[in-house]
Amino acid sequence: MLSRDYIIGLVDGEGSFTVYLRKIGKYRKVEPHFYLKMRKDELSLLTKLKKFFGCGYISLQRDKRKTHSDCYRYEIGNMKDLEKKIIPFFRGRLQSEKRKKDFEIFCRILKIMEKKKHLTYDGWQEIKKLKEKMHR
């Protein structure tokens, strides 16, 4: 089994807290995700991570570039799992300034969604502005 410190270090270096914004006709969709992508030969590590959190899924991510290899991606997109497992686990523990910043913005977006404000135009715009500050 993986230790908590190991998982935090792994996510500090390789993890991502992200939000996808999609417009489908007049509908707007907000999709928060936590994921970790590793080389194909690290599948067992992602399997242990999935077992540790007890949620999410692992998928193969093919890469057609000659200098890159296929990867596996462990991902959690379920709101309840993000709110009940991921956020409490990582809150106050990340060391990377970049990852901490993305995590805090991610948490703010989830709070907006929890209040159902993402279903309004103003809420969507607020999330869009927050998202623009991520991954910089």
**What confidence score (pLDDT) does residue 41 get?**
92
Predicted structure pTM score: 0.92
Higher pLDDT, 61 or 57: 57
Enumerate the β-bridge partners of residue 34: 17, 76
Domains delineated in the chain: 4-131 (3.10.28.10)
pLDDT for residue 64 is more than 90:
no
Over the range 33-51, which residues count as b (16 or more CB within 10 Å of their CB) and which as e? bbbbbbeeeeeebbeebbe
pLDDT digits (tens, 9 = 90+) for 73-123: 999 999 999 999 999 999 999 999 999 999 999 999 999 999 999 999 999
**Which residue in 66, 87, 91 sits closest to 76, CA to CA?**
87
For residue 109, CA distances in Å to 3, 5, 102, 124, 130 come to: 28, 26, 11, 10, 7
Q: Which has the higher per-residue pLDDT, 56 or 136?
A: 56
